Each structure stands twice: as structure tokens, then as C-alpha cells.
Structure 1
Amino acid sequence: MTDAATPLSLPDQALVEEATKKSGLIWVRGTGPARALWHVWHDGAAHVVGDGHGEQPLPGLAAGSTAEVTVRSKDKGGRLVAWTAAVSELAPGSDEWEAAVGELKGKRLNAPDGEAMTERWARECRVLRLSPCTASTEHPDGSLAAPPLPTSATTRHPIPPGLPRLLLRRGKRG
């Protein structure tokens, strides 16, 4: 087990990299509550894009700060490793930005503007690099569960009035 104040050893670095690569989401806490973020592992760090129209919010993550990253198991969903990250913002158009965005665009699902999304990211979004500093595989006492963050998104709507009749009619045809 690694103490959170020690720098990454080679085995911890390998654990952080493999766990983060294989996880579809990472939980990132900057100055506010932790948020689930989609990401890509590239060049020894996790990269995220957001804060633009139609992209994930990145509140509490600022260049020059640190963030706590928690990685879950893809199959069981349990916490595998937590690591402290140094946050840096990549300048649009730089070689590092281009390389990261090249990886990110392959992972972005359902982009409203297709191939033009990289230009939108350069104009409207921030691309952040989360470089691992320290890691911990110790499990905390108690649950880390938190209530969902407030959102305007909704998935529940009233059932359309004609739907029950349509469903009943399908069952009688068979």
C-alpha cells in the first residue's frame, strides 16, 4: 500500500496507468464535488476536454492546481486506485494539444458537429492534462457515496396517452 504523500513508484505508476486506461470514467475532484469525466490516457497522463457548449463541465479544475482522481474497476465498479494529479491546461494549436485532441476525438461519442469538433474545442473548450503525482490503493473507512449533483437533465416523462393501447394491441397480434 502506498501513502498518498509519497511520489509514484514504478509499480504504482503502472497501476495508475493501466487502471485509468481501462476505465471509461474517472472521478475527479478539484475544489468542488467529485465529477465523473470521460477521458483518454495519453503520454503518461489523463486528458479531459470540457467547459464548452455540449461538453462535460470541468468546475474546480484550474491550471496549476491539483485534483484527486479516483479510478473504478470496469467490471465490478469498485475503487481500484486514487491518485493526486497536477492539472495543466494545454494551449490550443500546440503540438501537445494536437496530440491529445487526436486521441480525445476518437473517444468522443455522439458529437453534434462530427469532424468539426476539434475546431470548436479550440474556440470554446479547455483541454486539461491530469499528470499523476501520488497514488493510494488504501480503501477509505466508510462509503464515499454522495447524492447526485443538481442538474436540469431529466429522463422521466409522463407516459404518452396512446402508448398503453399500442402495447396492448401488439400483444394480441402474436
Structure 2
Amino acid sequence: MTSELLGQALFDGALIEEASKKSGLVWVRGASAPAARPLWHVWHEGAVCLVGDGPGEQPLPGLTDGGSAEVTVRGKDKGGRLVTWQATVSEPAPGSPEWEAAVAELKGKRLNAPDSEEMPARWARECRVLRLTPTGSVAPPPTGSLAERPLPTPATTREPVPAALPRLLTKRRKRKQPK
């Protein structure tokens, strides 16, 4: 490996690690998933660690043990895309040293948990803990638009503004003017 390629590989690895450590949210698309999903995570021992697919936890569609995933990390300042990288997905067995280490980090970052003390036991029973380890492959910056249709949701937009509302607002402003 030439020194230029080695330097680029080291730079890519450092970029992936620093961006992933600082961002509280990553966009992940599993090999069989139709679109990327935002997921909270922690960076631990060279990989993004996730917990989900259980009651009250985030969904992890398309992420299977031994599969691959595409991870996009956003910047903390403006929320723009910093880096997109390929990852290998692994699912450590509950109770294994690798699982225990990941769960200890995830537990510290999990906000609004209804059962903070019982969380590791619940995760072992009902959820999946995944590690997304970078393969070293960083995607080049996109040249076109990355706009996608939103995922289907039962949420709706606001109702149209009532026709009389602009008149009511105008009258209030007129009353407040000094005489």
C-alpha cells in the first residue's frame, strides 16, 4: 500500500470516528431497507452501537447479523451530511463481553427510559443490540440531489387557515396603535 493510500485510509478512519462520536444521530440504510432511517447511537470501540426492535425502542429495519449497511453522519453545527460510509453489521450475543460493553455505553446515553435500572435485562429479552463496524470504505460526496419522498406516516399537516383569521388579526393590530 502506498503512503498516499495509507494516509487517505487513516484520514477516512479518523473522519468516521470523530463524526460518529460527536453526532447523536446517524442515518442508516440496511441492505434490504427501502430508505435510510435516523437512529440514535453511541460510538464504542471502533463501531456505532445501536439498540432497537423492541417495545418502546427504535426500529432497525434491514439490519441483519452479518449483513451490510450504509451509514450517513450529519454535522452537529448545521445538520448537513459530513460523511457516508459502509459498515458490517454484527449482533453480539446477550451476556457476551462485547454485548455487555455496548449495553453499558448505550444505557448511559438512553434518554427518557421508563425502566433505567431494568433496561439491560429488558434489552437482553426483547431487543437487539447491533454493532456497525466501518469497512473503511467512504462514499464520495454526492453530485446530485439526495431528496427522497417521505416515508408513509399517519401524521397529517395542519388544517387550512380559517377565512376570517386575517381580518381578526388586522383588527387587533389597529386597536393596539397609539392615539
TM-score after normalising by structure 1: 0.80
Partner of residue 70, structure 2: 68
Query: Secondary structure of the residue that 1:115 maps to in structure 2?
Result: coil
Any residues of structure 2 matched to 1:74-153 within 5 Å, and which? 74-136=76-138, 138-152=140-154
Q: CA deviation at 1:147?
A: 2.7
Match of 2:12 in 1: 12
Counterpart Cα distance in 1 of 2:65 and 2:77: 32
Aligned letter for 1:21?
A: K
For residues 26 and 50 of structure 2, the distance between their equivalents in structure 1, rounded to whole angstroms, comes to 10
In the other structure, the counterpart of 1:161 is none
Larger radius of gyration: 2
- Give identity over the alignment, percent: 70
User: Is the 1:52–1:126 Cα contact (8 Å) retained in structure 2?
Assistant: yes
Q: Which amino acid aligns with 1:24?
A: G
Query: Matches of 2:13 and 2:70 in 1, distance apart?
Result: 15
Q: Report the residue type matching 1:142 in the other structure.
A: G
- Aligned-partner residue type, residue 122 of structure 2: R
Deviation, 1:155, is 9.2
Q: Distance in 1 between matches of 2:40 and 2:73?
A: 11
Deviation at 1:88, TM superposition (A): 0.4
1:145, distance to aligned residue in structure 2 (A): 2.4
Aligned to 1:25: 25
Structure 2, unpaired ranges of 5+? 1-5, 160-179
Report the secondary structure of 2:88's partner residue: strand
Distance 2:158 2:107 in 1: 30
Shift of 1:132: 0.1
Post-superposition offset of 1:150: 2.4
How far is the alpha carbon of 1:39 from its aligned partner? 0.3
Q: For residues 94-137 of structure 1, what are the alpha-carbon distances to aligned partners after superposition, in whole Å with 9 as ceiling and x for unaligned?
A: 01100000000111111111211111100000000000003326
After the TM superposition, list the runs of 4 or more consecutive aligned residues in structure 1 that deviate by more than 4 angstroms.
152-157
Q: Secondary structure at the match of 2:38?
A: strand
Aligned partners of 1:20 and 1:56: how far apart in 2?
18
Change beyond 3 A, Cα 1:150–1:129: same
How well do the aligned residues superpose, as a CA RMSD in angstroms? 2.0
- Normalised to the residue count of structure 2, the TM-score between the two structures is 0.78
Q: Where in structure 1 are there 5+ consecutive unaligned residues? A: 1-5, 158-174
